[in-house]
Chain A
Amino acid sequence: QVQLQESGPGLVKPSQTLSLTCTVSGGSISSGGYYWSWIRQHPGKGLEWIGYIYYSGSTYYNPSLKSRVTISVDTSKNQFSLKLSSVTAADTAVYYCARDGVVTATRVFDYWGQGTLVTVSS
């Protein structure tokens, strides 16, 4: 059973960089076949897809956040990470990591972490 777990600071100051890590267990990122995504949810709001990374390091970022986002992978630790720079209060959200797979040619988020709340405040 694949499990994902987010970790990182729950409080970040405005203008600083938000950094989160997702640790994957029950499956290897380096085995390929899956993308690994970050998704966020503003308090009481809907879901926003941030971007994905493949085990090779190839990435795709949502254009709405592209200038501030970096997603990286460490296959030796079976982890992938999110960095979001120049944060403001508008970046306060629950951040989820998720496995992004392909089922009958359809991309799906089939496994999710529990989510971690990041608050941007001084």
Chain B
Amino acid sequence: DIQMTQSPSSLSASVGDRVTITCRASQSISSYLNWYQQKPGKAPKLLIYAASSLQSGAPSRFSGTGSGTDFTLTISSLQPEDFATYYCQQSYGTPFTFGPGTKVDIK
């Protein structure tokens, strides 16, 4: 299985801050990397697919970069509704696997 890691596991930030989350795959996954946002008690929501493509309806302050093994999710200006847990997920090969998540909370 392809193992996914994320850093940091949690972070505290203020509204307006620029936030960057890193995801690393245990082997090259090209650009087959997706990002999801999950709020407490809710299902995950697709934000970014294919490493850098913004899902329809997702705010443009979210962006993704990377290829191979190293990827980043950036929130350019953190908004109150962005406090959540973010997961990366590889779709390069089955079984599909997720990172352990990064919780973004209020500073």
Contact = CB atoms under 8 A, between A and B. Distances in A.
Interface of A: 46-49, 60, 62-64, 96, 98, 103-110, 112-115
A84 B18 CA distance: 43
Given A98-B43, A103-B49, 19 more contacts: A46-B87, A46-B98, A46-B99, A49-B97, A96-B43, A96-B44, A104-B49, A106-B31, A106-B50, A106-B91, A108-B34, A108-B46, A108-B55, A108-B91, A109-B89, A110-B46, A112-B44, A112-B45, A113-B43
Nearest to B99: A46
A37 to B, nearest CB: 8
27 contacts: A46-B87, A46-B98, A46-B99, A46-B100, A46-B101, A49-B95, A49-B96, A62-B95, A63-B95, A64-B95, A96-B43, A103-B49, A103-B50, A103-B53, A104-B49, A106-B34, A106-B49, A107-B32, A107-B91, A108-B34, A108-B55, A108-B91, A112-B44, A112-B45, A113-B43, A114-B43, A115-B42
Contacts of B12: none
Contacts, number: 59
Nearest to A64: B95
Interface of A is mostly: strand
Given A48-B98, A49-B95, A109 B44 contact: yes
Interface in B77-95: 87, 89, 91, 94-95
Nearest to A112: B43
Contacts of B55: 108, 110
Chain B interface bracket (under 10, 10 to 19, 20 to 34, 35 or more): 20 to 34
Nearest to B32: A106
A49 B31 CA distance: 19
B32 A47 contact: no
Nearest to B95: A62
Contacts of B91: 106-108
A114 B97 CA distance: 20
Which 6 pairs across A and B sit closest by C-beta, in order of nearness? A112-B43, A107-B91, A47-B98, A62-B95, A106-B50, A49-B96
